[in-house]
Chains A and B, each alone.
Chain A
Amino acid sequence: MSGYLAVIVVVLIFVVIFQIAKASEYVSILKGEKKAREQSNRINGFLMIVFLVLGLIGVWWCHDLLEGRMLAEPASDHGVGVDSLIKVTFIITMIVFVLTQIALFVFAWKYQEKDGRKALFFPHNNKLEVIWTVIPAIVLTVLVAFGIRHWLKMTSDAPKGSMVVEVTGKQFNWIIRYPGKDGQLGRRNFKLTNESNNPVGQDWADKLNTDDIIAPELHVVVGKPVKLIIGSRDVVHDVGLPHFRLKMDAVPGIPTTLWFTPTITTAEYRKRTGNPDFVYELACDQMCGSGHYSMKANIVVETQEEYDAWLAKQVTQYSVAHPAPETPAGPAAPADSTKAVAALGK
């Protein structure tokens, strides 16, 4: 019922606007075209300046309102670089934005048609044109130089001794594999993949695989560079790390890499933001199907001791895939393994 009412109200508003518009057309014919044009020029010229003033206030107000809701400080060294580059770019583009918009709307208002005003025949001026070709070129060169410097730093090879973690996307969650004690990830073969006990297709013939651990969360150590080896099992995904200001696609068949050094532990970030429930999140940033919006993994940034303690509690995927019936398993092992598999299967 209220739906119909809304439709009726909208239609009525339309009819009223239309009648006004139609009436104004008749009035303009009666008054003479010139008079009518003068009037509409005055109104539109006035609105130009109103729009400019309210618009600029709105831009400032919007910034004031939303600045605090953006992500807090970056939690990686790369992120600090990105934020500084954003800041420089923000200042430069804001200056250009404000000046050009002021020029545009002030000129539109100031040079509206008036009796006796003569437009200036001003077809070109080489000096002016050279100036506004060269200045943007110089400013952009500076931005390019800054940008490329950061970019090459971020995409350089990971430092020696970096931690290595493999992140594999699948519809619709993340499988995260740690190299275990040997520090090396075992070989994979996608043909060996199966949902029940080998989610990333580890080749068990490769002994490096025996101590690899699979978990649904990404654990990294504060202050220690970590290199992510990123892949996908099905469609293109993207490892989005908003708090670390980083992103990298997960492409099936073509591994990609990304490295960074986390600088703030989860516990510390909770303290700084005053939010006891704060978690770092890993978001999928490439459209991957109907569950795209739910493709999340939590990230835990912790100290080396905490990390070691966590890792020691994990069960290797090898033992999940090869339950050994002859040796009596500890009571924790089967429970843990079902947990691991269940977590991956969901």
Chain B
Amino acid sequence: MSNEATLHSQDLHHHGHAADHGHGNGHDGHDHHHEETFISKYVFSMDHKMIAKQFLITGIIWAIIGAFFSVLFRLQLGYPDSTFPWLESILGHWAEGGRITAEAYYALVTMHGTILVFFVLTAGLSGTFSNLLIPLQVGARDMASPFMNMLSYWFFFLASVIMMSSLFVQTGPASGGWTSYPPLSALGDASIGSKIGMDLWLVSMAIFVVSSLLGSLNYISTILNMRTKGMSMTKMPLTIWGFFFTAILGVLSFPVLLSGFVLLLFDRHGGTSFYLSELFVAGKVLPNEGGSAILYQHLFWFLGHPEVYIIILPAMGMVSEILAVNSRKPIFGYLAMVGSMFAITILAFLVWAHHMFVTGLNPFLGAFFVLLTLLIAVPSAIKVFNWITTIWRGNIRFTPASLFSIGFVSTFISGGLTGIWLGNSAIDIHLHDTYFVIAHFHIVMGVSAFFGMFAGIYHWFPKMYGRYMNQTLGFIHFWITLVGAYLIFWPMHYEGMAGMPRRYFDYSNWASFNSFNGLNMFISFVVIIVFATQLLFVFNFFYSIFKGRKLTTPNPWNATTLEWTTPINPGHGNWPGEIPEVHRWAYDYSKDGKDFIPQTVPVSPDESGH
């Protein structure tokens, strides 16, 4: 059988109905495929690679919106006495006279958090790269269920539409913080953002959870069942391990969040009292008794904490891979890396109450959560040391991807270490809900996860579009962002140690916190520059899709993993011929004097072990 015929029969055999969709046309000389419409190729596509691009581009659009919101509220924090007439022209009565109102400020911070945590760093990061890399790196033609995979994106899209629409309702979007603690979020009389905007927020998030579950179940079953011949679990690249643990975390914790949201909806509209008790709001005594506002916080943080690992584990996996490729060295301590990710996954479920040290939690219980929280620093430390050892005595190529990976390790150290402060309840009792917390989590999961995401985009862009992104723009993007991120968040630790509370619209009436006006202005100024730099990246991304330098080799980084054994523009099904067989782990770099040995090369008898 010719190659072409093999492909055809395999496709039909392998995909069943899915074979009708999403074959790349006219590449590598096989143009025999069924006609596909624009809709089936670009819109309702079941090709995991197209779905990955859909997640990524939606995520980029959300990231621009979410980051722009932070610029708006940083203007208020940095320049509280100035007015910006253009704000009134875009925000209307929410910025009367060119200064945003307190209500608008709280809506902006709430939406900033929601968008970045869920829509960008969960859907945009894990959604993109799990979809792109799992089938390509384990050697599968597509996900276990391409249809569910498509649904996962479209549920995300629906959630996005609803969340977006909440920005335009009369009373504004949700404004009780991304955590949306009741009773504030339960009572429309308590806050204007808790009216229809809150309902839209809850419905959108519920649909988001559905999307996440559909995606995660697919990722898990694909990794467990669809690995190519020879690809035992311990031969998988660390990216796949990262996505695998991420998906497990999501499947086990998102349903708990959903239940918390459903109970909140009942409290809002069903007259129940899950979270409500003994309230006197807007001059009226409410009938609710016996509920617990703290119950919501438990349900929320049971996802909320694993969520930060859902965000960071894919980035860890990708950074491990990219550092190894660009150092031309195997990742140091592969099994320890897998083991520490496993430990992080388990511990992620056992630390949620460290967000609740000051809720009146039983102190004895609090002590346990201190222990478990600081315990999670051990696997994190192992990972950091292993990354550093990976670049030690390497032969490092600086690409935008490897630079962002090094940046990731740097910010992960900086932000991780302050976690040791906050995880200790006796320190948290002072620093809780201050700018120290903002500095901590923005560095360790905001900036780090973004660095992981940027690294991934620069590194696998050639696989996605068959073109390179512009390197020089990538270098400029990296250095300004790295320096800017530290300039923005490092000084915030000091504001936090001074007790400066987060989520304050204005500090001018506070004798304790008003000594930071100059610093706040400086931070806001840097925020604007860093935001503009991200637009440079966005431009580079979209420009390179159409005009980037074309790939001339299927394996531009000389990497060992399977995705680079596919054609430059792989069609639906990924490999035109048979799926390659795997004979070795993914990290044979600089072994026995060879620069790299792809996973598909059989182990020769005289090869040294490792």
Contact = CB atoms under 8 A, between A and B. Distances in A.
8 contacts: A25-B472, A113-B396, A119-B395, A121-B610, A140-B378, A148-B367, A281-B511, A290-B103
Interface of A: 3, 10, 14, 17-18, 20-22, 24-25, 28-29, 37, 40-41, 43-45, 47-48, 51, 55, 58-59, 62-63, 66-67, 69-71, 79, 81-82, 85-86, 89, 92-93, 96-97, 100-101, 103-105, 107-108, 111-114, 117-125, 128-129, 132-133, 136-137, 140, 143-144, 146-148, 150-152, 154-156, 170-171, 190-191, 193, 195, 201, 233-236, 238, 240, 242-243, 245-249, 251-254, 256-257, 277-279, 281, 283-294, 296
A112 to B, nearest CB: 5
B452 to A, nearest CB: 15
Contacts of A155: 363, 366
A122 B511 contact: no
A124 B503 CA distance: 46
B336 A233 contact: no
B429 A246 contact: yes
B424 A147 contact: yes
B91 interface: no
Interface string B402-433: 01001001100110011011001111011011
A190 B506 CA distance: 32
Interface string B73-105: 000000000000010000000000000011100
A236 B472 contact: no
A86 B359 CA distance: 21
Contacts of A291: 102
B228 interface: no
B515 interface: yes
A111 B392 contact: yes
B208 interface: no
A242 B498 contact: yes
Contacts of A283: 499, 501, 510, 512-513
A97 B391 contact: no
Contacts of A143: 374, 420, 424
B329 A287 contact: no
A108 B331 CA distance: 15
B598 to A, nearest CB: 16
Contacts of B327: 111, 119
B330 A123 contact: yes
* 10 closest residue pairs by CB, A with B: A242-B499, A253-B277, A256-B360, A155-B363, A147-B424, A44-B398, A150-B426, A293-B504, A21-B472, A66-B494
B433 A151 contact: no
A296 B510 contact: yes
Contacts of A113: 328, 395-398
B285 A190 contact: yes
B181 A286 contact: yes
A118 B395 contact: yes
A104 B410 contact: yes
Contact of A285 (B183, B332, B406, B434): B434
A253 B497 CA distance: 31
Contacts of B46: none
A144 B190 contact: no
Contact of A18 (B291, B483, B539): B539
A28 B394 CA distance: 24
Contacts of A24: 471-472
A246 to B, nearest CB: 6
Contacts of A294: 506, 509
B279 A285 contact: no
Q: How large is the interface on B (under 10, 10 to 19, 20 to 34, 35 or more residues)?
A: 35 or more
B512 A242 contact: yes
A70 B494 contact: yes
Contacts of A195: 283
Contacts of B490: 58-59, 62
Interface in B502-559: 503-507, 509-513, 515-516, 519, 532, 535-536, 539-540, 549
A85 B426 contact: yes
A301 B487 CA distance: 38
Nearest to A71: B498
Most buried by B among A47, A152, A252, A294: A252
A69 B516 contact: yes
B388 A104 contact: yes
Interface string B252-284: 000000000000000000000000111111010
B358 interface: yes
A104 B382 CA distance: 14
Nearest to B395: A119
Interface string B323-346: 000011111111110000000000
B258 to A, nearest CB: 22
B183 A234 contact: yes
Interface in B348-372: 358-360, 363, 366-367, 370-371
Contacts of B476: 17, 21
Contacts of A29: 549
A190 to B, nearest CB: 4
Contacts of A45: 398
Contact of A147 (B177, B370, B430, B593): B370
A289 B292 contact: no
Contacts of B232: none
B248 interface: no
A290 B106 contact: yes
A64 to B, nearest CB: 11
A258 B388 CA distance: 44
B587 interface: yes
Contacts of A287: 106, 176-177, 179, 181, 184, 503
A27 to B, nearest CB: 10
Contacts of A133: 378, 381-382
B91 to A, nearest CB: 15
Contact of A124 (B333, B395, B494, B589): B333
Contact of B285 (A40, A92, A191, A293): A191
Given A45-B398, A125-B333, 5 more contacts: A62-B491, A104-B409, A122-B389, A148-B367, A151-B424
A247 B482 contact: no
Given A119-B328, A148-B370, A254-B292, A62 B494 contact: yes
A96 B417 contact: yes
